[in-house]
Amino acid sequence: QKEVEQDPGPLSVPEGAIVSLNCTYSNSAFQYFMWYRQYSRKGPELLMYTYSSGNKEDGRFTAQVDKSSKYISLFIRDSQPSDSATYLCAMTPGTASKLTFGTGTRLQVTL
Amino acid sequence: DAMVIQNPRYQVTQFGKPVTLSCSQTLNHNVMYWYQQKSSQAPKLLFHYYDKDFNNEADTPDNFQSRRPNTSFCFLDIRSPGLGDAAMYLCATSRDSGGASTDTQYFGPGTRLTVL
């Protein structure tokens, strides 16, 4: 079993839709959770960063962490074609710099 | 703008022919990382430098080596590339490994390596 599981997609939604992206994990030591966005042929860029359980909102993006279920989510409201990318979850215990990534979910927002 | 730069963006090499990938950063970060990312897979950490201290992942093949001559530059050397080494190689930096609030990693655009 992988430490971090993420549905690879692709996920195709119409413009304006609400998108839900998810990851599950098995290591209860993970405390810090990130979402990276990776456009085609580019490096990942940090989108959201959350510590422990709870919600964090930034514009159209909301990150949720449920540590009891070992489940994290990224919600995108009013999705735009420019949101089309691969979204990678990543997490770390916080005691070292090593991140454990999911395989990424490819999102396509259509006009 | 402060950034992470990787050169070249695309590299083609022959089976067994050594190749070097380059990364430079203007962020003045202490930590630099090299990841390997194959198609539809998670980035896989190969090694990282905390300042001059080299940290190799246990499962990184001996075929992969790295050098960090100064704070700004880091190189990935693949001594004898095999077909299985074809991938995107990502360089990343972070300010410090002492706490998660400073563990944000900033990635370069990657070098896509093709092995013929």
What pLDDT, on a 0 to 100 scale, did the predictor assign at position A98? 78
Q: What tens digit of pLDDT does each residue of A5-62 get?
A: 998 889 999 999 999 999 999 999 898 899 999 998 889 999 998 888 889 999 999 9
Please give the helix or strand (H or E) that residue B88 lies within, else none. strand B87-94
Taking 70 as the threshold, does the pLDDT of residue A95 lie above it?
Answer: no
Share of residues in chain A with pLDDT > 90 (%): 72
| Angle ∠(B111,A97,A35) on CA atoms, nearest 5 | 70
Q: Which amino acid is at A72?
A: I
Distance CA B51, CA B30 (A): 5
Cis amide bond preceding A10, omega within 30? yes
Taking 80 as the threshold, does the pLDDT of residue A96 lie above it?
Answer: no
What pLDDT, on a 0 to 100 scale, did the predictor assign at position A2? 79
| Composition of chain B by helix, strand, coil, percent to 5 | 5, 50, 45
What pLDDT, on a 0 to 100 scale, did the predictor assign at position A36? 95
Stretches in chain B below the pLDDT threshold 50:
99-102
Report CA A41 to chain centroid distance, whole Å: 19
Share of residues in chain A with pLDDT > 70 (%): 97
Contact (CB<8Å) B109/A99: no
Contact (CB<8Å) B107/A94: no
- Name the E strands within A15-53: 19-25, 32-38, 45-51
Taking 90 as the threshold, does the pLDDT of residue A85 lie above it?
Answer: yes
What pLDDT, on a 0 to 100 scale, did the predictor assign at position A53? 84
What pLDDT, on a 0 to 100 scale, did the predictor assign at position B2? 62
Contact (CB<8Å) A42/B109: yes
Place of tokens 């909301």: A62
Burial B10-43 (b: 16+ CB within 10 A, else e): ebebeeeeebebbbbbeeebbbbbbbbbeeeebb
Contact (CB<8Å) A41/B4: no
Total number of residues shown for chain B: 116
Residue A88's closest CA among A53, A57, A46? A46
Interchain CB contact of B42 with A (< 8 Å): yes
Distance CA B41, CA B44 (A): 8
Considering Cα of B3, then B33, then B110, then A35, what sign does the dihedral take?
negative
Give the β-pairing of A54-58 and B53-56.
unpaired
Please give the helix or strand (H or E) that residue B77 lies within, else none. strand B73-78
Q: Give the residue with greater pLDDT, A1 vs A111.
A: A111
Chain A residue with minimal CA distance to B95?
A97
What pLDDT, on a 0 to 100 scale, did the predictor assign at position B103? 66
Taking 90 as the threshold, does the pLDDT of residue A1 lie above it?
Answer: no
Contacts of A36 in chain B (CB under 8 A): 107
